[in-house]
Structure 1
């Protein structure tokens, strides 16, 4: 038998095993086993379920009381800092009086994930109805954990969205099988994120439930952003969650093949006791979440009163095969595009992955051709900062188009930003003595960039700052999608020249004309347009928009980002070089021209350059110096891979 036949036979056998499912009778028995094991004990007899007093929860009541039928009132709180975002979640979970709905793409079993899970179970035991909905590809890692949760408590329910191969968890080989048999369905993911408390207070934005999103990783953390909304719009959030909870592709975990067979074989296993990698950190977060004065000072007092809030969210019918029904369920992309098109002065847009769909490209091209086009400022990742080097490679390919045809001003986030709202002391990495902690009780004490770079212990040598991937981690635990087909290495950031706690941008936000602020889950990318379900909060309020704009502008400050601008023209044949590069970029497969249109620049302040300048300012080149296409990157194999994907990866754009 040839190696091809052997490979096909192995894949067929794996496919048959992966797709093995339970009969209806087996599903019924598994459901009965889980239901019979669920505890009915309630630890609280009080009407409010022994809810902890919470200044954040109080915001919901105040907003509802102040609202009228045609005059809604809300409170909006931007959650810029990872530890504060986790603090808000823990505090709100403890304040719930009747129900908790949690919807997420990733729910890990690391310290942050287990801390939240423990709070969810504690709420269920005191009488609160808790529902957890997780996308299949990044659900809890262990089938035993899911089986234990299936029978944990009568008030606790967990379901999985779109379980390809009828499993809660799929291994990497099974993932490849699913790619062969069910490519379209495998790509259709629930990227929506929502935490909803008592239908009064909701949190949505970029953060999942994993250490990386709360400054708890010693190697790689996301600079992310959520928004807490208290008031009537929470009812719309509840309706959207209900649609996903009851969707055809949403399944109780006990009815899935791997979890159900575990229940049929051994019954409901005990939930393993939580063992934190850093117990002191988890204990401190738990104590802070029980301190009303701290929560008031650090969070509730910062909330802005606003009027109408719009929650635009896709419905699960977006994943229907019927095109008309699918398009009718798409709300996020059309809503965001409408806002962008309405801009008159400026669009300030932040996305971790700058790869645009064809309709989005046409939108920006049309805007740039207006007699008085609005300014388009983009905050995104550099290659050194991103967790998705393939996506960056495609973004790098189209820099000429972005700068020249769309008029973008692009700022790329540095891997060691000097003043980003990141708490290095929370990461658990060894730190220099002069690093001051970010305080939940006050303002950030930002370390200088040299101190951030000097944080050692998370890498070394050519792999400095690289995120360590544990042996049990599959390629399904990150949001970056296309690289999963290529194995674990595709999901790791590129090696850097220096070691340190690396920071990557993950926030998805927008400000239009300094008047409308948007925070959500949509990366403004083809996946969000076509495959993922997404959501966003839109607030037409100058104070909120200006606060959000200040946050994004902080990320594009010179100490935190490089500026992308056209490289200096060659001394001879510059027009010919430009024309050949443009032709190469438009080739459908091959883009082999070695010199790219743009490169990265660093601001050099001085007497003649007191303040940063736009790359369109005629004084720009006197105040900035080029630092190369991939600053900070150790030019090794990942650099070559990036260049290869720039040349040949255009076909991957729709699924990135």
Structure 2
């Protein structure tokens, strides 16, 4: 992009922002309109705000009763299934007695998000203080809803984090101008995700508030993971949330230029009526959330008693130029855990792109005399929601395998044994594949139409799913899953977890990438407990099984010129540009069981090439122009690594 065009975009964005910017007097007027409209009617006079009994909330009561200052007690529950993660949230919101704090990167207005929003509003009306903090880039994409929320109830507050041009909703010129004029600040996002009930029980992990995080999308869903923690560590969560809520970049929604202008012009609008795409599914989950025995049997009984729990979370001061030393503890804390590994690091991340410090760490780990094994679960190109990031991972596979000693497993777009209710992904009856395409058959039969076009009536808009958005590569092919060779409801890995030596478990928001390290604020729960760590490890290993992942391994050596091929590939990889060497060091393999291959073996086993079949660099992807796109990104995108 030439300088003249860049300058024009910035000028248009700044001019547009100046035209719609409100004065401080106008902002005060807009805020007073919102405050005056807020209902002061409280539906419940009970001391506990008529909280619904909840076996999940009871876990915190038990934890505090069993704890002492010297020996804290917690209960921890791994939330692998999307439906369970949503069920837990709704049940806990209804159980709140005094306060609910929600912090998230994405908050949509689809079925799952609207269900949560309705429950938060209902909680506020029965006397619970509700605070909702959303990063600007993915805040509720409807000014009418935001304006309605600003004046909904005296117990409900909503703020937007780091709003460019002090707006809730950006147009193209706002977005482009922010990238060009204020790149670093615009990239500094609040990626922390937390829902905290009564400062007693909290949930954090990879999930945002959008249907594809709860297995409710008809086209693409994330295989994700949260952890529910009940006990004293929730106080650390409350302290961290308070820091974000009071940060200078957290702006009350009624004081934003676009929402404020609407308030000044129209007053506080009525909340739009629910328009659920699948009202039957919403009603069913709502009913389940009120079934105390069901919640106990399905969720609470699976919670594990553990001792010390650490909530390691960045502070908003991470985004200051002169930040305090303790403002960004997430990355250093996780790196310390990895450096201390003795036998194994089990790492799960959707985006395998590493910063220079992380590369140095894993290189040093591999060079130790008794190097721990590093097993990595990540996305394939067919499964990922971000082809740009995958292209960088693809570029450095030789380095990951040779220099770091990684054993890499890439998630399939149609895993056969995922923690997903396959039958619930689609409406009544299995839809037919599009003409000329196969339908995917998982354990529950056919589960979907072409991933290239959603079922009619099921998806009303194209979602921008990727979380690494702030760049000019944040639209079009860069943020859309690539077309596949067969039909189906695709699943992409989004979980961010780690297990060290089968004794320390970590679940959080950190992607173990440069963006998490340098730009985003992140959070993670660290639990040093063998039983918890082993349960988490079993969950990750399930994702690496042959039913769910391909193995990345070196190709069988060609009979001639293998040394030249390796050397040229290594040189090409090291170049910042022109990485176009066509033969790659490694590729994807599929396990082929048989009499001589009864069980999977590692890539360094002599039987590997007998038991595994090479399936290509980009299995399942409908190669063509998109393949060229990925290869060009591999060749020319090395400079993007620091922000990916």
TM-score tier by shorter-chain length is: over 0.9
Mapped contact 1:453–1:499 kept (Cα < 8 A): no
Mapped contact 2:160–2:252 kept (Cα < 8 A): yes
Mapped contact 2:440–2:446 kept (Cα < 8 A): no
Alpha-carbon distance in structure 2 between the residues aligned to 1:431 and 1:235: 46
Alpha-carbon distance in structure 2 between the residues aligned to 1:89 and 1:348: 28
Q: Write out aligned runs for 1:221-300 (5 A).
A: 221-300=221-300
Mapped contact 1:220–1:466 kept (Cα < 8 A): no
* Structure 1 counterpart of 2:147: 147
Alignment CA distance shift 1:482-1:252 (3 Å): closer
Which residue, 441, 449, 455 being the options, matches 2:447? 455
Mapped contact 2:505–2:536 kept (Cα < 8 A): yes
Deviation track 1:468-491 (CA, whole Å, cap 9, x = no partner) reads: 99776575x631325654423321
Mapped contact 2:440–2:487 kept (Cα < 8 A): no
Is 2:539 aligned against 1:557?
no
Alpha-carbon distance in structure 1 between the residues aligned to 2:583 and 2:201: 51
Alignment CA distance shift 1:542-1:189 (3 Å): same
* Structure 1 counterpart of 2:493: 505
Is 2:533 aligned against 1:535?
no
Alpha-carbon distance in structure 2 between the residues aligned to 1:448 and 1:17: 48
How far has the Cα of 1:456 moved from its partner? Answer: 3.4
Is 2:357 aligned against 1:369?
no
3-state SS, counterpart of residue 83 of structure 2? helix
Mapped contact 1:141–1:169 kept (Cα < 8 A): yes
Alignment CA distance shift 1:452-1:17 (3 Å): farther
* Structure 2 counterpart of 1:382: 380
How far has the Cα of 1:173 moved from its partner? Answer: 2.9
How far has the Cα of 1:570 moved from its partner? Answer: 2.0
3-state SS, counterpart of residue 227 of structure 1? strand
* Structure 2 counterpart of 1:120: 120
How far has the Cα of 1:577 moved from its partner? Answer: 1.2
Alignment CA distance shift 1:164-1:589 (3 Å): same
Alpha-carbon distance in structure 2 between the residues aligned to 1:50 and 1:181: 50
Mapped contact 2:348–2:497 kept (Cα < 8 A): yes
* Structure 2 counterpart of 1:18: 17
3-state SS, counterpart of residue 540 of structure 2? helix
Number of aligned residue pairs = 636
* Structure 2 counterpart of 1:408: 406
Mapped contact 2:430–2:447 kept (Cα < 8 A): yes
Alignment CA distance shift 1:241-1:610 (3 Å): same
Alpha-carbon distance in structure 2 between the residues aligned to 1:548 and 1:305: 14
Deviation track 1:101-130 (CA, whole Å, cap 9, x = no partner) reads: 000000000000000000000000000000
How far has the Cα of 1:27 moved from its partner? Answer: 1.0
Unmatched tracts of structure 1, length 5 or more = 434-446
Mapped contact 1:384–1:633 kept (Cα < 8 A): yes
* Structure 2 counterpart of 1:36: 36
* Structure 2 counterpart of 1:192: 192
Cα root mean square deviation, aligned: 2.1
Which residue, 547, 566, 571 being the options, matches 1:578? 566
3-state SS, counterpart of residue 419 of structure 1? coil
Mapped contact 2:10–2:176 kept (Cα < 8 A): no
Which residue, 352, 355, 358 being the options, matches 1:357? 355
3-state SS, counterpart of residue 328 of structure 1? coil
Deviation track 1:36-87 (CA, whole Å, cap 9, x = no partner) reads: 0000000011111000000000000000010001100000000000000000
Deviation track 1:289-343 (CA, whole Å, cap 9, x = no partner) reads: 0000000000000000000001100000000011x52x43011000000000000
Alpha-carbon distance in structure 1 between the residues aligned to 2:215 and 2:463: 21
Range with greater deviation from structure 2 (381-390 or 18-27): 18-27
Range with greater deviation from structure 2 (334-343 or 488-497): 488-497
How far has the Cα of 1:448 moved from its partner? Answer: 9.4
Deviation track 1:208-254 (CA, whole Å, cap 9, x = no partner) reads: 00000000001100000000000000000000000000001110001
TM (normalized to structure 1)?
0.94
Q: Write out aligned runs for 1:341-356 (5 A).
A: 341-356=339-354
Which residue, 623, 631, 638 being the options, matches 1:643? 631
Range with greater deviation from structure 2 (447-456 or 55-64): 447-456
How far has the Cα of 1:594 moved from its partner? Answer: 1.2
Alignment CA distance shift 1:544-1:5 (3 Å): closer
Deviation track 1:504-541 (CA, whole Å, cap 9, x = no partner) reads: 00000000000000000000000000000000000000
Alignment CA distance shift 1:95-1:359 (3 Å): same
Alpha-carbon distance in structure 2 between the residues aligned to 1:558 and 1:612: 8
TM (normalized to structure 2)?
0.95
How far has the Cα of 1:464 moved from its partner? Answer: 6.6
Alignment CA distance shift 1:422-1:474 (3 Å): closer
Alpha-carbon distance in structure 1 between the residues aligned to 2:378 and 2:72: 34
Mapped contact 1:72–1:307 kept (Cα < 8 A): yes
Alignment CA distance shift 1:367-1:466 (3 Å): farther
Mapped contact 2:377–2:409 kept (Cα < 8 A): yes
Q: Write out aligned runs for 1:52-63 (5 A).
A: 52-63=52-63
Alpha-carbon distance in structure 1 between the residues aligned to 2:429 and 2:77: 30
Q: Write out aligned runs for 1:448-487 (5 A).
A: 449-450=441-442, 454-459=446-451, 463=452, 475=464, 478-481=466-469, 485-487=473-475
Mapped contact 1:30–1:261 kept (Cα < 8 A): yes
How far has the Cα of 1:155 moved from its partner? Answer: 0.0
3-state SS, counterpart of residue 117 of structure 2? helix
Q: Write out aligned runs for 1:75-224 (5 A).
A: 75-224=75-224
Q: Write out aligned runs for 1:578-617 (5 A).
A: 578-617=566-605
Mapped contact 1:429–1:456 kept (Cα < 8 A): no
